[in-house]
Chain A
Amino acid sequence: ADLIGGGGRGGSGRTVTWGFDPVAVQNNGDAIKDALYENGLSEDITVEFVPRDQDTGAARSNYNRLLNAGETDPDMFLMDNGWTNIFIQRGQLQNLSEALPEELVSDVADNYFSAFTDTARDPGSGDLFGVPVFPDFPTMQYRKDLVEEAGYNPEGENWATEPMTWERWSNIAEDVNDNADTDYGFTTQWDIYEGTACCTFNEIMSSWGGAYFGGRENLFGPIGDRPVTVNEPETISALNMMRKFVHDEDAEDQFSSYGGGFTPTNILGWIEEASRAPFAEGNSVFHRNWPYSLALTGRNPDNTEDPALGENLGAMPMPYAVSESDAAQPGTGGTTSALGGWHMTVNPNINNQEDVVSVIRAAMEPEFQLELLSIQGWLPPRPELFNSSDAQNVDVVGRYMDTLQVAGNNTMARPVTAVWSDQSTNIAQQANRAVGQEASSADAMATLQSALEDTESQ
Chain B
Amino acid sequence: MCGFIKDKTPKAVARRKRIVLTSFAILLASVVLLPLGGYLYSGLSAQAAAEEQTNPRANYWRAVRQGNTGYTAVMGQETNTLIQNGGQNWRQWRNGPVANISPWFLALVLLSLGLLFLLRGTMKIEGTLSGRTVTRYNVAERVIHWYVAILFIILTITGLSLLFGRAVLIPILGYSGFSDWANFSILLHNYLGPFFTVGVVLAVIAWIKDNIPTATDWQWFKEGVGGILAKGKHPHAERFNAGEKVFVFWLGLIVLGAIVSITGFMLIGWIGEQMRATMQLVNVIHAVASIVWIGIICGHIYLGLATEGALQGMTRGQVSEEWAKQHHDLWYKQAKKG
- Please determine whether chains A and B interact with each other in the same assembly: no
Residues of chain B whose beta carbon lies under 8 Å from any beta carbon of chain A: none
